[in-house]
Amino acid sequence: MMPAIGLPLDRVDGRRKVTGDAKYAAEHNLENVAYGALVMSTIAAGTIKSIDDTAAKKSTGVIAVISHLNAPKLNKPKQGTLRENDLIPFADGSIHYVGQRIAVVVADTLEHAIRGAELVKVSYNETPARIDIQQFRNEAVDRAKSAFSKGDAATAFASAPVKIDQVYRTPYEHHNPMEAHGVTAAWAGDHLTLYDSSQNIFGAQNAMAQLFAIPKENVHVMSQFVGGAFGSKGGVWPHVIVAAVAAREVQRPVKLVVTRKQLFFGNGHRPETEQRVALGANPDGKLVALIHEGMSQANDVSDYAERFVRPTLAIYAVDNMRAVNPVVSLNLPSPTYMRAPGECPGMFAIESAMDELAYAVKMDPVQLRLVNYADVNPENGKPWSSKSLKQCYEQAGQRFGWAQRNPEPRSMRKGRDLIGWGMASATYPAHRAPTSARAMMKSDGTVTVSCGTHEMGMGTATVMSQLAAETLGIPVERVRFEYGDTALPQAPISAGSLTAASVGTAVFEVANALKKKIADVDGVDPASITADSYHAILSKHYLSEVEARVDSKPPQEEPYAGQSHGAHFVEVAIDDEIPVVRVQRIVSAFAGGRILNEKTARSQYFGGIIQGLGMALLEETHLDKHLGTYTNVNFAEYMVPTNADVRSIEIILVPEEDAHVNPIGVKGIGEIGIVGVAPAIANAVFHATGKRVRHLPITIEKLM
């Protein structure tokens, strides 16, 4: 067998990306293509009174103006088909939020389309809008049926010798992937082709088939290269439907790219959360009660709920627990999954509260976590498929030098800087979904492995090539991995850190099936086949190619609980007079099962940690609570980390064998990197300053 798994190989698609050969959704230049520009609502609630498109239609190059007044009626798909946004554009004149897509101008050039959209005049019948979550907090409902309870948390908390009872808040955040959402739509009779920026092409195929009442096979979706998504490209957002409607109406392909400003309205966001965490403990730090509850923003055209209590059910051993995360429906755009949804904001609250408890019982924060270490899953009592969180604490803490920490706040200084050390745990569930794959070997010994999955920067094509190569016992250079096309075998959405486990298992199984099929041709044991055997066997039997296909499914009942784990140790420096927080170094250790490629794994962890730094110190979408609009809808005012913000980050890959989670022992690592970074930084800030910030981001004014 030729070893390939785990090697830090370069990305197989890297050259295409850096040379510009890789085509993204908006770069497919079809013949006679027209361009769409969106018109967005300027009110948060009400109905459209009138649309005056006279000037727009007379504008140079404008082909059509489409709105609810003249758009074809589409079928209503099954609930959840569009994922986090069940609003069908142009269905009627009702307005649910500022930025709702209410019309599209189609023109011969992008510039003409934009100018035409500027000329569309809309008047409204405005109604009172629900904007401020605090105003409607009493109307929160548990839409996701998230409530969990064991023991008697209220009674146990009331009688606990040590109590922490605090409220933590996280703000609205937007994904802002480097590549804006875009789509090129083209019709040929009743066949629709979409070049979409998507992490869920089969979901898009299914949705469009239902909307336009055509067979699913008539919808062809391609999305080979995606310039980042972070969860925002998992749903079928209105612009995709609008482009398809426009293309059919004008009888020519239509390209529609959402502008950076428009991305803040109607393409998903991480909702604001308010979380109460109540910890009851004995003086030795042992938890006797844990209550985690609160609320987050939702709306009436989406069924999404931010499950911020999920990590609470998986991280610490406690006999009495209550958790629930209701939502408040507001006249704001639909929230959606954003890297580590639920776990990311939820762990900020839990890990901040644990740090507060550590100070209350005068115990080292790492030791407190070890005292409450969960040897089985706290929610269901299942044994872990594997768990190496203790090793994460040990290895990251040792590398960081945690033993030299003076626990007293404001006790560590360097010149005029206050120095703070903080830490936090990380966890994320290991998911797997049904996936199909095909593998075809040609007589020259080269293999094409096909699966309709997605590549959003994770390195999917690279690690799948490595997995297929090692399973077949051939060099990686002989493997070509096809993806990003609904003409290929079906794959799930690339989200929830499930791609490596789901697609990887299918690739592993189809490679073994292909190997066995070729061995059966020659009547030999598959174990006896070497890299040179394939060409010899196919030539001997006059075969130009051999193909295998599998439909891989996880077991219906999982006997084990699967979670990835990690630990972050952070040092901050804060000027004692002007309290700007500078993250000096981060040491993080992760146990995510088998690592398929060390280089791409580190890249995923680095990206998550940097995004977590942004969550802690910078990222916040400001909401005008009177108008229902976001006010910092550009990169000048919506702050994200730059190179100057990121200093030293060290990643430790903790070896972890997992024979239970799936056949290849992979847990998924795309999201756990961000989980726990914000509380680790917040805890370090408290250690430096003695000021506890419970409302992200941590800005200067909160430390003054």
Hey, which residues are catalytic here? 671
Burial of 648 (0-12, 13-18, 19+ CB in 10 A): exposed
Task: Indicate the average pLDDT of the chain.
Answer: 97
pLDDT value, residue 82: 82
108-146: pLDDT as tens digits = 999 999 999 999 999 999 999 999 999 999 999 999 899
Residue 319 CA, chain-centre distance (Å), reads: 31
285-320: pLDDT as tens digits = 999 999 999 999 999 999 899 999 999 999 999 999
389-441: pLDDT as tens digits = 999 999 999 999 999 999 999 999 999 999 999 999 999 999 999 999 999 99
**Beta strand spans in 189-259 (E):** 191-196, 219-222, 254-257
What Å distances lie between residue 592 and 385, 471, 550, 564, 595, CA to CA? 11, 21, 26, 5, 7
312-350: pLDDT as tens digits = 999 999 999 999 999 999 999 999 999 999 999 999 999
Q: Given a cut of 80, is residue 610 above it in pLDDT?
A: yes
SS3 196: strand
Q: Given a cut of 70, is residue 84 above it in pLDDT?
A: no
Burial of 95 (0-12, 13-18, 19+ CB in 10 A): buried
pLDDT value, residue 1: 57
pLDDT value, residue 2: 67
What share of the chain in percent tops pLDDT 90? 96
Q: Given a cut of 80, is residue 85 above it in pLDDT?
A: no
Non-local CB neighbours of 119 within 8 Å, separated by 6+ positions: 53, 55, 56, 59
**How many of the other CB atoms lie within 10 Å of CB of 553?**
14
26-66: pLDDT as tens digits = 999 999 999 999 999 999 999 999 999 999 999 999 999 99
Length of the chain equals 704
Distance CA 511, CA 507 (A): 6
Nearest CA-CA partner of 302 in 495, 79, 552: 79
499-547: pLDDT as tens digits = 999 999 999 999 999 999 999 999 999 999 999 999 999 999 999 999 9
pLDDT value, residue 495: 96
Distance CA 636, CA 633 (A): 8
What share of the chain in percent tops pLDDT 70? 100
pLDDT value, residue 279: 99
What domains can be seen in the chain, in order of their start residue?
Answer: 25-128+178-228+233-263 (3.90.1170.50), 273-431+559-703 (3.30.365.10), 433-552 (3.30.365.10)
- What pTM does this model have? 0.97
